[in-house]
Amino acid sequence: MQTVWAPWRMEYILSEKEEECIFCLALSEQGNLTLYKGSLSMVMMNKYPYINGHLLIAPKRHISSLDEMTMEEMADLLKTIKDSIGILRKVMKPDGFNVGLNLGVVAGAGVEEHLHFHIVPRWHGDTNAMTVFAEVRVIPEHLEATYSNLKPYFEGLG
């Protein structure tokens, strides 16, 4: 049997669970996994990623559907997605990306009340049987290290 270490999970297991919106909290706090706070959109790292570099891009306004967005918010959000992909491409050099939006709990939205897109970098050979057979994800780099690598590039956005 192999052991997969994920030491940052203990903090989550022992912590009180947030009842507030994670995106609204990220906008108001310092020292979290927020990489970018623009005038209309934000970028934060997924605290429980599918793979290193898994980002969440959301409008700053607390809305749950595309219908609620202004054209300015949509344009800014798409530009932020494009810029985030460019930064991930430069820093992490993935071979491709999954970019998606889950609308509603039945569609997989973990935070249904605040619209957000996922950007998941992908590399040739990054899929493995761990998730399928053992319900385990292997994340090769600590979240704080990924954050430190990405943060300087997001400071130049805006």
- Where in the sequence numbering do the catalytic residues fall? 116
Provide the terminal-to-terminal Cα distance of the chain, rounded to the nearest Å.
48
CA contacts within 13 A on the Cβ side of 122? 11
Tell which residue, 119, 113, 143, has the closest CA to residue 57.
119
DSSP string, 73-120: HHHHHHHHHHHHHHHHHHHH--SEEEEEE--SGGGT-SSTTS--EEEE
- For residue 59, the 8-state DSSP code is E
d(CA 65, CA 106) in angstroms, rounded, equals: 15
**CA 122, chain centre distance (Å):** 14
- Provide the 3-class DSSP secondary structure of residue 67: helix
